[in-house]
Amino acid sequence: MKVARVEDIKRMDELASTKYGISQEILMENAGASVARLIESFADASGLRVVVVAGVGNNGGDGLVAARHLASQGADVNVYIIGDLEKITTLARINLDRIMRMGLPVEHVAEDISGLSEELHQADVVIDALFGIGLNRPVSGLYARVIDAVNGSGSLVVSVDIPSGVNGDTGQVMGVAVKADYTVTFGLPKPGLLIYPGAEHAGEIYVARISYPIELLEDENLVIETNDPVQLPERKPDTHKGDYGKALFIAGSRRYMGAPLFSAYSFLLAGGGYSRLATASNIVPYLGSKASEVVYEPLLETPSGSISYANKDRLLELAEWADIVAMGPGLTTEEETLRLVRDLVPLIKKPLILDGDGLTAVAGALELIKKREAPTILTPHLGEVSRLTGISVERIREDRIGFLRTLCRELNSYIVLKGAHTLVGTPSGKIYVNLTGNPGMAKAGSGDVLVGVIAAMLGLGLDVGEATRMAVLVHGYAGDYVASLEGIDGVTASRMMRVLPRVLRELRENPEDFYRTYSLQTL
Ligand SMILES: NC(=O)C1=CN([C@@H]2O[C@H](COP(=O)(O)OP(=O)(O)OC[C@H]3O[C@@H](n4cnc5c(N)ncnc54)[C@H](O)[C@@H]3O)[C@@H](O)[C@H]2O)[C@@H](O)CC1
Ligand SMILES: Nc1ncnc2c1ncn2[C@@H]1O[C@H](COP(=O)(O)OP(=O)(O)O)[C@@H](O)[C@H]1O
Ligand SMILES: [K+]
DSSP element (H, E) containing 69: helix 58-72
* Residue 195, marked binder: no
- CB-CB contact of 102 with 137 (8 Å): no
Q: Is the CB of 420 under 6 A from ligand 2?
A: yes
Residue by residue, pLDDT tens for the chain (523 residues) are 999 999 999 999 999 999 999 999 999 999 999 999 999 999 999 999 999 999 999 999 999 999 999 999 999 999 999 999 999 999 999 999 999 999 999 999 999 999 999 999 999 999 999 999 999 999 999 999 999 999 999 999 999 999 999 999 999 999 999 999 999 999 999 999 999 999 999 999 999 999 999 999 999 999 999 999 999 988 766 666 667 699 999 999 999 999 999 999 999 999 999 999 999 999 999 999 999 999 999 999 999 999 999 999 999 999 999 999 999 999 999 999 999 999 999 999 999 999 999 999 999 899 999 999 999 999 999 999 999 999 999 999 999 999 999 999 999 999 999 998 999 999 999 999 999 999 999 999 999 999 999 999 999 999 999 999 999 999 999 999 999 999 999 999 999 999 999 999 999 998 898 988 998 999 9
Amino acid at 126: V
Ligand 1 neighbours by CB, cut-off 6 Å: 9, 13, 27-28, 31, 55, 57-62, 89, 131-139, 143, 160-161, 186, 210
Distance 474 CA to ligand 3 centre (A): 33
Report which ligand 1 atom has the smallest distance to the Cα of 162: 39
Instruction: Determine the residue of 353, 385, 422, 469 to mutate for testing ligand 2's pocket, defined as the one with the most ligand atoms within 8 A of the Cβ atom.
Output: 422
Residues 6+ apart with CB under 8 A from 313: none
Q: Which residue intervals of 363-492 are DSSP H helices?
A: 367-370, 382-389, 393-398, 400-411, 446-459, 464-486
Report which ligand 1 atom has the smallest distance to the Cα of 62: 43
Amino acid at 383: G
Report which ligand 1 atom has the smallest distance to the Cα of 31: 44
Return d(Cα 431, Cα 275) in angstroms, integer: 30
Cβ count near 7 (within 10 Å): 10
* Residue 180, marked binder: no
Q: Which fold has domain 2-218?
A: Rossmann fold (3.40.50)
Q: Is the CB of 355 under 6 A from ligand 2?
A: no
Distance 508 CA to ligand 2 centre (A): 25
| Distinct helix (H) and strand (E) counts, the chain | 22, 19
* Residue 61, marked binder: yes
Report the pLDDT value the prediction gives residue 148, as an integer from 0 to 100.
98
* Residue 419, marked binder: yes
- Report CA-CA distances (Å) from 12 to 33, 59, 418: 20, 17, 30
Let me know the angle formed at the C-alpha of 122 by 117 and 123, rounded to the nearest 5 degrees.
95
Instruction: Determine the residue of 384, 433, 446 to mutate for testing ligand 2's pocket, defined as the one with the most ligand atoms within 8 A of the Cβ atom.
Output: 446
User: Whose atoms come closest to the Cα of 84: which ligand?
Assistant: 1
Report the pLDDT value the prediction gives residue 241, as an integer from 0 to 100.
66
- CB-CB contact of 180 with 153 (8 Å): no
CA-atom Rg of the chain in angstroms: 26
User: Whose atoms come closest to the Cα of 186: which ligand?
Assistant: 1
Nearest Cα residue to 198 out of 26, 397, 430: 397
Specify the DSSP class assigned to residue 520.
Answer: P
Specify the DSSP class assigned to residue 228.
Answer: P
Return d(Cα 440, Cα 35) in angstroms, integer: 33
Distance 178 CA to ligand 3 centre (A): 8
Distance 119 CA to ligand 1 centre (A): 24
* Residue 62, marked binder: yes
SS3 74: coil
Instruction: Determine the residue of 227, 397, 418 to mutate for testing ligand 2's pocket, defined as the one with the most ligand atoms within 8 A of the Cβ atom.
Output: 418
- CB-CB contact of 387 with 363 (8 Å): yes
Distance 375 CA to ligand 2 centre (A): 23
Distance 273 CA to ligand 1 centre (A): 53
Sign of the C-alpha dihedral computed for residues 297, 302, 305 and 309 taken in this order = negative
Return d(Cα 185, Cα 426) in angstroms, integer: 26
SS3 336: helix
User: Whose atoms come closest to the Cα of 227: which ligand?
Assistant: 2
- Report CA-CA distances (Å) from 378 to 97, 343, 413: 55, 17, 7
CA 277 to chain centre: 31
Instruction: Determine the residue of 381, 421, 500 to mutate for testing ligand 2's pocket, defined as the one with the most ligand atoms within 8 A of the Cβ atom.
Output: 381
Backbone angles phi, psi at 326, to 5 degrees: -120, 130
* Residue 365, marked binder: no
Amino acid at 369: I
Query: Which residue minimizes the CA distance to atom 30 of ligand 1?
Result: 139
* Residue 505, marked binder: no
Cβ count near 207 (within 10 Å): 21
In the chain, where are the structural domains located?
2-218, 246-522
Report which ligand 1 atom has the smallest distance to the Cα of 13: 1
Q: Is the CB of 444 under 6 A from ligand 2?
A: yes
SS3 26: helix
Query: Which residue minimizes the CA distance to atom 4 of ligand 2?
Result: 438
* Residue 2, marked binder: no
Distance 125 CA to ligand 1 centre (A): 21
Instruction: Determine the residue of 19, 28, 130, 131 to mutate for testing ligand 1's pocket, defined as the one with the most ligand atoms within 8 A of the Cβ atom.
Output: 131
User: Whose atoms come closest to the Cα of 135: which ligand?
Assistant: 1
* Residue 148, marked binder: no
Return d(Cα 185, Cα 159) in angstroms, integer: 8
Q: Which CATH class is domain 246-522?
A: alpha beta
- Report CA-CA distances (Å) from 464 to 148, 239, 268, 306, 447: 46, 22, 18, 30, 18
- CB-CB contact of 77 with 67 (8 Å): yes
